[in-house]
Amino acid sequence: MRLAKNVKFREEKFGGVLFETRSEKVYTLTPTAAAVVKQVAEGRTPGEIAPALAQRFEADGTTIEREVKAFLAELAEKGLVED
C-alpha cells in the first residue's frame, strides 16, 4: 500500500494534512491518523503499522489493529491510498 499518485502528506503541529491535488481537496489528520499515514508514506505494510502504533501509543493491540484497518479502508475508499 502507498499514497495515491496525486496525494501528498505533510506533518503539522496538529497532526497532518493530506492534499489530493487532482481535486485540490484537503483532509486534516489527527496525530494518530497522521502517524498511520506517515507509516504508509514510508512504505510500511498494513500488517506492520498496527503493532508499531500500539507500541508507540502504548495502546491495546487488538483495538489499534481494528482502528487502523478501518482507517486504511476509509483512505482507500476516498482514493487516497492504493495497492
Partner 1 sequence: MNDAAASEALAAPLYVAWQITNECNLACLHCIEESGPGKAFSDELDREGALRVVDELMANEVPYLSFSGGEPMLHPHFFEMVERVTSRGSQLKVETNGHYLTPENCARLKALEVKAVQVSLDGATSATFGRMRVRGEFDRTLQGIRNLVAADVPVEINFSPARFNIHEAGRIVDLAYELGAASFYSGRTMFTGNAVKAWRHLEVEDADYVKYFETLAAKRDEYRGRMRVSYHEAGLLEELRYRLHHPAALLIILPNGLVKLINALPFVCGDLRRESLADVWANFRRAWHDPRVATFIDELAADPGATRGLHKWVRV
DSSP state, residue 44: -
- C-alpha 65/C-alpha 25 separation (Å) is 27
State the nearest-atom distance from the C-beta of 76 to partner 1, in Å.
Answer: 13
DSSP state, residue 46: H
Per-residue cell: 22: 487532482
3 state SS of 69: helix
Is residue 82 a contact point for partner 1 (CB under 8 A)? Answer: no
Is residue 55 a contact point for partner 1 (CB under 8 A)? Answer: no
3 state SS of 78: coil
State the nearest-atom distance from the C-beta of 8 to partner 1, in Å.
Answer: 3
Is residue 43 a contact point for partner 1 (CB under 8 A)? Answer: no
State the nearest-atom distance from the C-beta of 69 to partner 1, in Å.
Answer: 15
Q: Which amino acid is at 79?
A: G
Interacting residues toward partner 1 by CB under 8 A: 6, 8, 10, 12-14, 17-19, 21, 24-30, 33, 71, 74
